[in-house]
């Protein structure tokens, strides 16, 4: 996953039909586990264009998108927030959510 700035995130969500943006903080234990699960999903979906950002460096995103906690995965469709995921139940759960994003990006 590439680290995205707020500007890069805006570009991605406005130029792709669907995008995914993972927000975390480095001292969050749940974020560390989620990051590992997302890396497994990245191996399964190698063409998936997903970004990540340390929320400490993009704090304005928390307010703009009403992020309630970390970890948070924001999924957008046509530039608008479609879903925010806070509970990362399992690798298969995340895979199912992101496989739709991957398919939309490839079709675009």
pLDDT in tens, 36-72: 999 999 999 998 889 999 999 999 999 999 999 999 9
Please state the pTM of the whole predicted model: 0.93
pLDDT in tens, 3-38: 999 999 999 999 999 999 999 999 999 999 999 999
The pLDDT, as a whole number, for residue 94 is 96
Is the predicted pLDDT of residue 108 greater than 70, yes or no?
Answer: no
Count of Cβ atoms closer than 10 Å to residue 108 Cβ: 9
User: Which CATH number do you get for residue 30?
Assistant: 3.40.30.10
Domain enclosing residue 14, as ranges: 2-107
Is the predicted pLDDT of residue 73 greater than 90, yes or no?
Answer: yes
Q: Tokens 């995008």 appear where? A: 19
Q: Give the CA-trace dihedral at 28, 56, 6, 93, to 10 degrees.
A: 10
104: confidence class by pLDDT, cuts 50, 70, 90 = confident
Averaged pLDDT, 71-81: 95
How many structural domains are present in the chain?
1
Q: Which two tokens stand for residue 81?
A: 């927030």
- Distance (Å, whole) CA 44 – CA 41: 5
The pLDDT, as a whole number, for residue 61 is 93
């Amino acid at each position: 996953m590439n680290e995205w700035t707020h500007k890069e995130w805006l570009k991605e969500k406005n130029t792709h039909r669907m995008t995914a943006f993972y927000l975390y903080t480095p001292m969050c234990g749940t974020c560390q586990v989620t990051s590992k699960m997302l890396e497994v999903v990245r191996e399964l979906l190698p063409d998936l264009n997903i970004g990540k950002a340390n929320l400490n460096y993009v704090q304005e995103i928390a307010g703009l998108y009403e992020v309630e906690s970390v970890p948070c995965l924001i999924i957008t469709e046509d530039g608008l927030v479609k879903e925010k995921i806070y509970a990362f139940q399992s690798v298969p759960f995340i895979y199912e959510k992101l496989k739709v994003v991957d398919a939309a990006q490839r079709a675009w």
